[in-house]
Structure 1
Amino acid sequence: MSALKGPTLLFCPADRPDRYAKAAARADSIVLDLEDAVAPADKDGARQSVVRALLELDPAHTFVRINALDTPWGKDDLAALPAHTMVMLPKAGSAADVRACAPRAVLALCETAAGVLAAESLARTDNCAGLMWGGEDLIADLGGRSSRGPGGGYRGVVLHTRTQVLLAATAAHKYAVDAVHLDISDLEGLAVEAEDAVAVGFRAKACIHPSHVAPIRAAFAPTEAESRWAREVLAAAEIRGAVFRHGGRMVDAPVLAHARSVLAALESADDEPPSVAGNHTAHHTRK
Structure 2
Amino acid sequence: MSSATNSQLAIRTRSWMFTPATRPDRFANAAKSQVDVLIVDLEDAVQPDEKAAARGNVRTLLDAADNTALPPLAIRINSLLTRFGLDDLIMLLDAKHAPQFVLLPKIESPEQVLQIDTLLTAAGKTTWLVPMIESARGLSVVEPIAQSCSRVAALMFGAADYASDVKAQPEALALQLARCGVAAACAQAGVLAIDAPCFALHDAERLHADLTFAAANGFEAKAAIHPSHIESINTTFTPSAERVTWAKRVVEAAEKGAGTVDGRMVDEAIAREARRVLAAA
User: TM-score, length-normalised on structure 2?
Assistant: 0.83
Query: Aligned-pair RMSD on alpha carbons?
Result: 2.2
Q: Is the 8 A contact 2:196 2:223 kept in 1?
A: yes
Q: 1:189 aligns with which of 196, 201, 206?
A: 206
Partner of 2:85: 74
Residue 193 of structure 1, CA deviation: 2.6
> Relative contact order (C-alpha < 8 Å, sep 6+): which is higher?
2
Identify the match of residue 105 of structure 2 among 65, 68, 90: 90
Tell me, what secondary structure is at the counterpart of 1:73?
Answer: helix
CA distance in 2: counterparts of 1:69 and 1:245, whole angstroms: 52
Matches within 5 A, 1:214-253: 214-238=231-255, 241-242=257-258, 244-253=259-268
Which deviations, in whole Å up to 9, do the C-alpha atoms of 1:140-159 show, x marking residues without a partner? 122x15221xxxxxx22212
2:183 alignment partner, one of 156, 162, 166: 166
Identify which of 59, 67, 76 aligns with 1:65: 76
How far apart in 2 are the matches of 1:225 and 1:129?
29
Aligned partners of 2:144, 2:108: CA distance in 1, in Å?
10
Give 4+ residue runs of structure 1 displaced > 6 Å after superposition: none
Kindly tell me: are residues 64 and 228 of structure 1, through their superposed partners in 2, closer, same or farther at Cα, counting changes over 3 Å?
same
Q: Which runs of 5+ in 2 are unaligned?
A: 121-126
Q: What secondary structure does 2:46 align onto? A: coil
> 1:6 Cα deviation (Å)?
2.6
Where does residue 55 of structure 2 map in the other structure? 47
Conserved? CA contact 2:20–2:46, under 8 Å? yes
Paired amino acid for 2:26: R
Q: Which amino acid aligns with 1:175?
A: L
Residue 47 of structure 1 aligns with an amino acid whose one-letter code is R
Q: Does 1:132 align with 2:149?
A: no
How many Å apart are 1:79 and its aligned residue?
0.7
Map of 2:124 onto structure 1:
none
2:143 is matched with 120
Secondary structure of the structure 2 residue equivalent to 1:81: helix
Q: Deviations over 1:92-141 (max 9, x none)?
A: 11122212322253200000111111211211221322211112101212
* Residue segments in structure 1 that go unaligned for 5+ positions in a row: 149-154, 267-287
Question: Partners of 2:238 and 2:72 in 1: how far apart?
Answer: 19
Does the 8 A contact of 1:5 with 1:61 survive in 2? no
